[in-house]
Amino acid sequence: METNNENASMRASGLKPPTKFNYSPPKSGLSEMSQSVSNSRVMPPPQYPANQKHKISGLPESVPKQRKTLSDRAGEPIHKNPAAPPSSQPVNGSVKSLSRNASFSSSTSRVPSASSRNTSTLSFGHSVGPGSKPPYTANNRPRTAYGHNRSASQQSLSRPGTSQDNYNFGNDQDGVGKRKEPIWDPSRIDKMEQDMARFSELAQTVEGAVTERDVLRESIDIYKSRINELEQIKAQLISMNSTLQADLEDKKVQLSASNKALEDVRRTHTFEVDDLRRKHRNDMEDVREQYRREAEKRRNDNDHEAQKARKEFEGEVGKLIRLHKEELGGLERRLKAEVEEERSRSTREVLEAQNQFALKLQNASLDLDTKEREAQTVRGELIHITSELDREKSLKANLQDKIMEAAANNLALETANRAMKAKIDFLESDNQAQSQAFADLHRRMQEAIETAALANEKLRVEETLRRKLHNQVQELKGNIRVFCRVRPLLEGAETEPAKIAFPDADSESKEVVVQGPEQRSALGNVTTATNPFSFDRVFGPASQNAEVFEEISQLVQSALDGYNVCIFCYGQTGSGKTHTMSAADGMIPRAVQQIYAEATRLEEKGWRYNMAGSFIEVYNENLNDLLGKSEDLDKKKLEIRHDTAKKQTTITDVTTVELDGPERVEQMLKLASNNRSVAATKANERSSRSHSVFILKLVGENSITGERSEGTLNLVDLAGSERLAHSQAQGERLKETQNINKSLSCLGDVINALGSSKENAHIPYRNSKLTYLLQYSLGGNSKTLMFVMVSPLQAHLQETITSLKFATKVHNTHIGTAKKQTKTKD
């Protein structure tokens, strides 16, 4: 009600009603209490120390929010006492001064209880601190919560009636300085005393609250220091974390670097291992080959050595035994003679001595008899005779000594004789041991020879088996095979290459893809066709002749085994035919070397080979002997003869060179090249306009098994295959080109006919000199390999595609199984 009145009065004055209690805490005295009071009214935000402006997360909610306000606490005992004013009753900041001066704030009248309103309306003026009073003017002076001015003298509006009105404290009602005497009501005094007691109680509560606030402040300080510590730890942890993060990053970088290095090392290692493996494989093969040769050589050497040693040893031993026997015989004879002589001499001496003694004894006894008879008569002579007897006795003793000596001599001689005999016996027994050792040696040698013979026999069987298996493999591969070889660009001379790809170069090497020429459609679109080709083997520009020969060496072996083999190079001029066939390391020299080495190896298995070579040129449908005289070229007529029964071809008047060593082929190739260069202004010009056929006849005989084989190896370098329209030839050149085209197309026809499934189909061998010459080397009983040579130049693209198409046709041809030309001796 009072508030309503106040509001009404404010409206009447035209001033705004207060929205907030304006409170200035006193500078001394109960400042904390003032704060609590103001807390209870307006709930200001919690006060933090200046250095702690913001709430620190993680700490409990601010104490002021949780705890009860002082006014609440102050109100607690009042609640206990029903007569006490309500707990929410605000207390003016200067309670202590009020208790001294009995001065009560008019604001107490806001307490809604009627009784309290009555008690609180004692107006002793506003007890704000002396320093806190601002210089208010009549108009701007802030109002109290009740909206009236503090100075009653300036108050123009009538104050609402309160209980104060019942007391007269000298209000300006009746003029200044004139105060009526108060009318003392003893019950009111009691009431005041009760209020005073309540106030002192309140002051105690406030003091308790102050103590509690101090405790709380301390705990706040502890919390603050703890927060500071935690902040420091947090800062340390953050810096440690950032260090660890940096370390982690470094480690990651190091780890990725080491991973990369490890990967590089692993890759390098893999490459090295691959290289080493490849090298090792090559080395192993070399070593194996070397070992095989070495072993064979050793075996041969050992056999020779053993035979030689055995003969020498037998001779030596025989000689020694003979000498020894002779020596022994001589020694024995000499010994026997000596012994005999000695024995007869001593016997003679003993007999002589005995005879003498017997004679002398006889004489002496005769003399003794005579003397004894005469003793009686001649005593004088007795002493003489006795002395004579004594002398004879001593002589006898001497003679006996001599006999003893002779006997001892005889004994010594007999001992010597026995020793000699023992020596002879020993020598004779030694001779026996030697004979025994020799017999052992001989037996072991015989065993070794038998083992070697067995091994040789086994080898021969294995060789036969190898031939059989080898040829089975060859037959399985097909009797006409096509290889493709793309030569490299000639450095410095050639610049525009065609687009040729080798998609499976790392695996099977059977594919070659040629990008065709550009073609413009009616709509003007430019396209290029991709031409893929597939053959038995494709050699790229980096391939070497050695690698190419490795692939054909088995065919060359077949020629040694008695097959007819034909290897020919097809391709346009300059595509690399001559380089492949006749270069110093080309197929012809390598084939001859292989055949020679193989023939030598087979010698120990009983094979003897006769190898004869001839070199033919087919030029303008005429045959020329490239090993003959150069002046005979194009003049001397050579004829082809076929022995249909033996299926053999001979050429009349052709030069045949016995190949007694691999170096012979070099001379043959040189001679052929010289003859061609004499016949043409440029050797390669002639070579590109004619076909050349290197024919090697191989006739082998096995003296052990009685086998015989006849094979022929034909290595053909065809003339350039360029088309007539493309070459734009005229005159002599036109004729040459026509002949070349004819023979090449005949070759195609022959292969085609051979591949046709018709039995006994006509094969047009006779249609060209070349096919006629190769009749028995192309077809049923032969093995054929065609090289299609490819130029890498864009300018030759059209010819390249034509050649590859022709080769594809040949590749798709299946020719019947080859037959070995083997005969057995009757």
Q: Which is nearer to ligand ATP, 357 or 787 (CB)?
A: 787
> Closest Cα partner for 570 from 691, 669, 735?
691
d(CA 172, CA 165): 12
Query: Does 573 appear as a known binding residue?
Result: yes
The reply to whether 586 sits near ligand ATP by the rule CB under 6 A is no
d(CA 171, CA 140): 24
Q: Which is nearer to ligand ATP, 606 or 720 (CB)?
A: 720
> Closest Cα partner for 820 from 765, 768, 794, 782?
782
Q: Which stretch binds ligand ATP (CB under 6 A): 243-251, 453-461, 568-576, 646-654?
A: 568-576
Q: Which of 36, 687, 692, 777 binds ligand ATP (CB under 6 A)?
A: 687
Residue pair 487/791 in contact (Cβ under 8 Å)? The answer is yes
Alpha-carbon torsion (462, 468, 471, 472), positive or negative: negative
Q: Which stretch binds ligand ATP (CB under 6 A): 121-129, 683-691, 730-738, 743-751?
A: 683-691
- Alpha carbon 179 to its chain centroid, in Å, reads 122
Q: Which of 90, 571, 628, 779 binds ligand ATP (CB under 6 A)?
A: 571
Q: Which of 134, 315, 329, 488 binds ligand ATP (CB under 6 A)?
A: 488
Q: Which is nearer to ligand ATP, 133 or 670 (CB)?
A: 670
The reply to whether 648 sits near ligand ATP by the rule CB under 6 A is no
- Alpha carbon 12 to its chain centroid, in Å, reads 106
Q: Which SS3 state, helix, strand or coil, does residue 467 take? A: helix
Quickly list DSSP for 46-103: PP--TT--SPPTTSPPPHHHHSPPHHHHHHHHHHHSTTSPPTT----S-HHHHHHHT-
CA distances from 729 to 653, 686, 733, 734 (A): 33, 15, 5, 5
d(CA 17, CA 10): 6
The reply to whether 487 sits near ligand ATP by the rule CB under 6 A is yes
Query: Does 748 appear as a known binding residue?
Result: no
The reply to whether 576 sits near ligand ATP by the rule CB under 6 A is yes
The reply to whether 792 sits near ligand ATP by the rule CB under 6 A is no
CA distances from 586 to 45, 418, 461, 541 (A): 107, 84, 33, 16
> Which residue, chain included where needed, has tokens 């595609």?
801
Q: How far is the CB of 251 from ligand ATP (least distance, A)?
A: 54
Q: How far is the CB of 640 from ligand ATP (least distance, A)?
A: 23
Q: Which is nearer to ligand ATP, 393 or 670 (CB)?
A: 670
Query: What is the size of the binding site for ligand ATP (CB under 6 A)?
Result: 16
> Closest Cα partner for 561 from 715, 781, 294, 774?
781
The reply to whether 684 sits near ligand ATP by the rule CB under 6 A is yes
Q: Which of 26, 147, 574, 613 binds ligand ATP (CB under 6 A)?
A: 574
Q: Which stretch binds ligand ATP (CB under 6 A): 195-203, 387-395, 440-448, 487-495?
A: 487-495
Q: Which is nearer to ligand ATP, 127 or 509 (CB)?
A: 509
d(CA 505, CA 508): 7
Q: How far is the CB of 718 from ligand ATP (least distance, A)?
A: 8
Site for ligand ATP in 707-726 (CB under 6 A): 720
Query: Does 578 appear as a known binding residue?
Result: yes
Q: How far is the CB of 720 from ligand ATP (least distance, A)?
A: 4
Q: Which stretch binds ligand ATP (CB under 6 A): 190-198, 286-294, 366-374, 571-579?
A: 571-579
Q: Which is nearer to ligand ATP, 562 or 720 (CB)?
A: 720
The reply to whether 752 sits near ligand ATP by the rule CB under 6 A is no
Q: Which is nearer to ligand ATP, 147 or 720 (CB)?
A: 720
Query: Does 268 appear as a known binding residue?
Result: no
**Please, is 266 exposed, middle or buried when counting C-beta atoms within 10 Å of its C-beta (0-12, 13-18, 19+)?**
exposed
Q: Which SS3 state, helix, strand or coil, does residue 649 take? A: strand
Residue pair 360/370 in contact (Cβ under 8 Å)? The answer is no
d(CA 705, CA 810): 39
Q: Which stretch binds ligand ATP (CB under 6 A): 13-21, 336-344, 458-466, 482-490?
A: 482-490
Residue positions forming the annotated binding site for ATP: 571-578
Binding site for ligand ATP (CB under 6 A): 487-488, 490, 571, 573-579, 684, 687-688, 720, 789
